[in-house]
Amino acid sequence: MRTVLIPVDGSPQSTMAVATLLRFADYERIGQVCLLNVQPELHPGYRALDAAEIAALTLQQGERALIDGVRLLEEAGIPFQIRIETGAVAPTIARVAEETGAEQIFMGSQGRGAIAAFVLGSVAIKTLSLTSLPITLVR
Amino acid sequence: MLKILVPVDGSENAKRALAHVIELTQSGLPLQVHLLNVQSPLQSKISLNAIASQATLDAYFHELGDEALAAGLALLNQARVPYQYSVEFGPPAKTIVDEAQKRGCHRIVMGTRGFGLISNLVVGSIAYQVVHLSTLPVTLVQ
């Protein structure tokens, strides 16, 4: 089954990445999409939250980031799975790509990062360095 | 009909990008490739004009362009993918993006880097600039 990984952060650009894949879906012969959101790893003590509260917060923010992409995929009737992971963004994208056996990655050329002013987001560049998969960058 | 611009320079990386596009034809859906090679002799021409005529130089750079396209054209012929091709002159990234627009392409598929001098960069300067300049989706094949 041909899997396409789409890391999203809830930004309009990452939603565009989903929309773009859907435009080309018939050509790409997609088996399924893995929609991934990577949240920063928070530790107990962050804003005086305990471990359970941190897990709930991570999940909530992850779902918020995924929702627009989920809606598009549901409308299109493309099979998909969602993943909310914590850790450094690019290495996590590369790891999930491997775990899901993804054949390619679609992503926004820049996301919500602090240095979104960069032409090609640092996440996109780092991801390219950590995987040998083709990456389609969408603006 | 999906139109895809594939800029090539004859490098292995460019061939892999084209192979990625040819794979899309397995969907059985109509697709057309525009194979492009960009020659950027502008700077060198100034000095070269002293020793060679403009016509000689144009012929020379067209020849270089044809050489860069040859491997890609062979792949497309073999896979029976309909295509057009051209050699254009200008700054590489801008020319790639302009041609994609002009020819009504829906996306660009290219190698992360070609015959660049600095091969330790993850993304070559041309691919980087194309992503920057293009409003079309750009697929980078490594």
For residue range B47-70, list pLDDT tens digits in order.
666 777 888 888 899 999 999 999
Any CB–CB contact under 8 A between B139 and chain A? yes
Structurally, at CATH architecture level, domain B2-141 sits in 3-Layer(aba) Sandwich (3.40)
Give me the pLDDT at residue A115, please. Answer: 47
ipTM of the complex as predicted: 0.91
- Taking CA–CA distances from B127, the nearest residue in chain A reads A120
Q: A7: closest CA among A114, A100, A117, A132? A: A100
Interval B11-35: pLDDT, tens = 999 999 999 999 999 999 999 999 9
* pLDDT one-digit tens code per residue, A64-122: 999 999 999 999 999 999 999 999 999 999 999 999 999 999 999 876 654 444 445 77
Shortest CA distance to B20 belongs to which of B108, B132, B137?
B108
Please check whether residue B134 touches A, CB under 8 A: yes
**pLDDT single digits (tens) A34-66:** 999 999 999 888 888 899 999 999 999 999 999
pLDDT of residue A43: 86
Alpha-carbon span B67 to B128, nearest angstrom: 24
Q: How many CA atoms lie within 13 A of B92 on its CB side?
A: 21
Confidence class of residue B120 from pLDDT cuts 50, 70 and 90? low
pLDDT class of A3 with cuts at 50, 70, 90:
very high
pLDDT at A85: 97
Q: Can you read off the two tokens belonging to residue B49?
A: 């004009």
Contact check, Cβ <8 Å, B131/A119: yes
Of B2, B122, B131, which is closest to A137 when you measure between CB atoms?
A: B131
A3-138 CATH pick, 3.40.190.290, 3.20.20.140, 3.40.50.620, 3.10.20.30: 3.40.50.620
For residue B60, the distance in angstroms to the closest alpha carbon of chain A comes to 34
Domain positions in chain A:
3-138
A129, A132, A136 ranked by CB distance to B138: nearest: A136
With tokens 């990445």, the residue in question is A17
Q: Which residues of B fall within a CB distance of 8 Å from A133?
A: 142
Q: Residue B109's CB: how many other CB atoms inside 10 A?
A: 25
Q: Sign of the CA dihedral B76, B78, B80, B84? A: positive
